[in-house]
Amino acid sequence: MPDLDALRDEPFEPEVLHSEVGFEGVVWNVRDDRVRYGDGEIRRQYVAHTGAVAILALDDVGRVLLIQQYRHPIRHRDWELPAGLLDMPGEEPVEAARRELAEEADLVAAEWEPLVSSWTTPGGNDEVIHIFLATGISAAPSAHAREDEEADIRVEWVPLDEAVRAVLDGRMRNGILSIGVLAAAQRLRDRS
């Protein structure tokens, strides 16, 4: 049996023969790369992503903050964790998480800890998202103005075990929400 503690993703850097921006977007670009792989060459196009953060805000009675907003690519108002881009130069992920919790939910947290990080769609983009567990939740000093998809965000506090059940039942399919609530449930089990 393999050493399960040694089981991990491994860096691998094949020679990039050519790389260019194939499409320049408003938020993200699409890169077009030719890479030497084995005895041949492969071509891959992918979204070059800034990275992101998400927040699993947990209140004192074990409820998780969920937000619902419209997502055009899937034509749904899906349930999500508060989240946002790492698009401020030099901003540390935890600081971006603090900013996003205030911007999307008008909340602040007294305690922050890394929960889990994940590549969201490694076959199609290079995004890594850092999910933080935030506790000691209170109202932010001021409300944040919202526009576009954020203008009609719905906010709900849901018992963590109910959010886990909704994920496992397939009623909530957002990947970041799924990873976050399952990781938080395991973290709390490990602590008790």
53 touches 105 (CB < 8 A): no
The pLDDT tens digits for 36-52 are 999 999 999 999 999 99
Catalytic residue among 24, 150, 156, 162: 150
Question: What are the residue ranges of CATH 3.90.79.10 in the chain?
Answer: 52-191
143-165 pLDDT, tens per residue? 766 566 566 789 999 999 999 99
Strand 128-139 with 52-57, pairing: parallel
Average pLDDT (105-123) is 96
Taking the alpha carbons at both ends of the chain, their separation in whole angstroms is 29
pTM: 0.91
CATH class of 52-191: alpha beta
Mean pLDDT across the stretch 46-70? 96
24 is catalytic: no
The yes-or-no verdict on residue 172 having pLDDT over 90 is yes
pLDDT (average), residues 52-69: 97
